Amino acid sequence: MDHTRKKFYEVFTDLQCFMLANMQKGEINGVTATHYNIIEYVYRHDRCTGKQVAKAFGISAPAISRQLKFLIANDLIEQEQSGEDRRVFYLSVTDKGRFIVDNSENFRDRVAQKAGKILTKTELKNLTALLSKLMQHMDA
């Protein structure tokens, strides 16, 4: 994937997460872009700890703890206590969390491929810039 398509893919991921977070129906109501990114991180780093997630995102342990509690309560991530050290809890993604990540990736891939075929590189750069600008102001 060339740089222009890769950048579009990244920006579209942010847009998709925003859309996902604002859906008011289905099993995924209330999932924010931050939640999605945490689910995806745990998906890619199975049996990681909350401390590892906090470090990866550069946020405090209490902040990640709040996010993880939401994800666990909504059956998107589960935790398992270590057999060797009872202070350690390993995180893994549930089937519901895996479904979100897999379907999001498939959707992004289809849209990015179609956009790459329909739009010229210049148009794709312009669309990416516009979506980036839009996303910068969505949370404001």
Q: Which residue has the tokens 């342990």?
A: 61
Confidence band (pLDDT; 50, 70, 90) for 114?
confident
Confidence band (pLDDT; 50, 70, 90) for 24?
very low
The amino acid present at 1, given as its one-letter code, is M
What is the per-residue pLDDT across 33-49, written as a single tens digit (0 to 9) for each? 788 889 999 999 989 99
Query: If DSSP codes are grouped into helix, strand and coil, which group holds residue 101?
Result: helix
Q: What is the pLDDT of residue 25?
A: 41
Q: What is the pLDDT of residue 29?
A: 60
- We find that the CATH architecture of domain 3-135 is Orthogonal Bundle (1.10)
Domain boundaries, the chain: 3-135
- Mean pLDDT value across residues 110-125: 89
Q: What is the pLDDT of residue 108?
A: 81
| Average pLDDT of the chain to the nearest whole number | 86
Alpha helices (runs of H) in the chain, residue ranges in sequence order: 3-21, 33-44, 50-57, 61-73, 95-118, 121-138
Is the model's pTM score more than 0.85? Answer: no
* Strands 77-81 vs 48-49: parallel, antiparallel or unpaired: unpaired
Q: Which residue has the tokens 């210049």?
A: 122
Q: What is the pLDDT of residue 140?
A: 58
Residue 7: CB atoms within 10 Å: 17
Nearest-CA neighbor of 68 among 88, 49, 44, 95?
49
- Residue 53 CA to residue 68 CA, distance in Å, equals 10
